Copies of this chain bind each other. A is one copy, B any other.
Amino acid sequence: MSRRSVSAKDVADLAGVSRAAVSRCFTPGASVSPDTRARILKAADQLGYQVNRLASGLIRNETGLVALIASEIATPYRSHLLSALTEALQQAGKVALVINTDRSDASVERAMRQAISYRTDAAIILSGMPDQSLAETCLRNGMRLVLINRDEEREGALRVRVDDAEAGRRAVAILFAAGCRRIALASSAADTPSLRGREHGFREAATRSGIDWIEERRGMTSYETGRTLGMALLARPDRPDGIFCTTDLMACGIMDVARWRLGIRIPEQLSLIGFDDIAQAGWEGYNLTTFRQPVDEIARRSIDWLLSGNGGDSIKELAIETTLVMRRSVAQGVVATT
């Protein structure tokens, strides 16, 4: 705020060269003689010179900034994904601008405008959805768009999708094979694309199998909601003996309520399957069987796409596969299912 920082001009003066030479010295692949390069580098080091990315972004039309737009970023799954994304971005020489939203359309819109303001090279959206016109504005400005676990498509954007429905279907098969005869779907009322997919797959397979099933959907995706869900599902006389919970975080809540409040033994009296494979699912206190989202792969492939020029016919959809992580929250059934 007070003093201005050292500029290329300062370095040029000290090294006895032109400003252009200094610029070239810091531009990969530009031609500078070894001698002047050495002089410039020395002067730069002496002065503590750091190229001003604001100015260079302005004329090169590439800032190195990538916006990460998400809600509930302190949540285990989200923070893991954010961390992977940030890391992958850094590997690629970019830097993450993280913008918190409250999942309302208005806040997503505000976030997108921020991204435009800073002329980020791309925006990766993990929650909510910008409307079509705003997305077009971004694309028109040359900004690339990645939508993670979103439903709708946006012309020119990359959609990253996980096989949610398939997981829901497999969960039913696993519970059935474990000997469960009355199963339940537990989910939040958040109504996001991912949740919908998992719910849909479950319902489809459960209905088709003819097995006795119920469902419960409440609140937002949180541990607390899991507890509510657990009480609603397990405090009744005809309680289910198997539950597929659309999120590990909620599954932890269900498990705790079952175990500590209702005295239900897991997996002997209740089989439970989650989704995400957050760190806690692997903790000894939970040992939750779940579907793992390959967070690092999602991050890596998203960033790869971002970096791979904007070829007109580049891929528009990335299908990511989850993998089943068998732990100890499902009863040993008659048949081992994978």
Taking beta carbons and an 8 Å cutoff, which residues of A are in contact with B?
A: 1-5, 48, 50-55, 57-58, 61-63, 65, 73-76, 78-80, 82-84, 86-87, 90, 95-100, 113-114, 116-119, 121, 137, 140-142, 223, 227, 252-253, 255-257, 259-261, 279-280, 283-286, 310
Contacts and interface: CB of A to CB of B under 8 A. Distances in A.
A80 B74 contact: yes
A117 B3 CA distance: 16
A327 to B, nearest CB: 13
A106 B313 CA distance: 40
Given A5-B140, A74-B80, A261-B284, 17 more contacts: A2-B310, A3-B141, A53-B119, A54-B119, A73-B79, A73-B83, A73-B86, A74-B84, A76-B76, A79-B82, A95-B99, A96-B99, A223-B279, A223-B283, A255-B285, A280-B280, A285-B285
A227 to B, nearest CB: 7
B119 A5 contact: yes
Q: A-B pairs with the 5 shortest C-beta distances?
A: A79-B79, A74-B83, A256-B284, A1-B142, A5-B141
Contacts of A260: 284-285
Contact of A63 (B4, B54, B142): B54
B310 A285 contact: no
Q: A3, A5, A76 — which one has the most chain B CB atoms within 10 A of its CB?
A: A5
Contacts of A257: 284
Given A79-B73, A97-B96, A285-B252, A117 B51 contact: yes
Contacts of A261: 284
Q: A48, A55, A58 — which one has the most chain B CB atoms within 10 A of its CB?
A: A48
8 contacts: A1-B61, A1-B142, A58-B58, A73-B79, A73-B86, A74-B83, A98-B98, A280-B280
A33 to B, nearest CB: 26
Contacts of A48: 137
A280 to B, nearest CB: 7
Contacts of A279: 74, 223
Contacts of A140: 3, 5
Contact of A283 (B73, B113, B256): B256
Nearest to A102: B87
Contact of A95 (B4, B118, B253): B118
A73 B84 CA distance: 9
Given A80-B74, A284-B256, A116 B58 contact: no
B95 A97 contact: yes
Contacts of A75: 79
A5 B116 contact: yes
B113 A50 contact: yes
B50 A283 contact: no
A84 B48 CA distance: 32
A79 B142 CA distance: 31
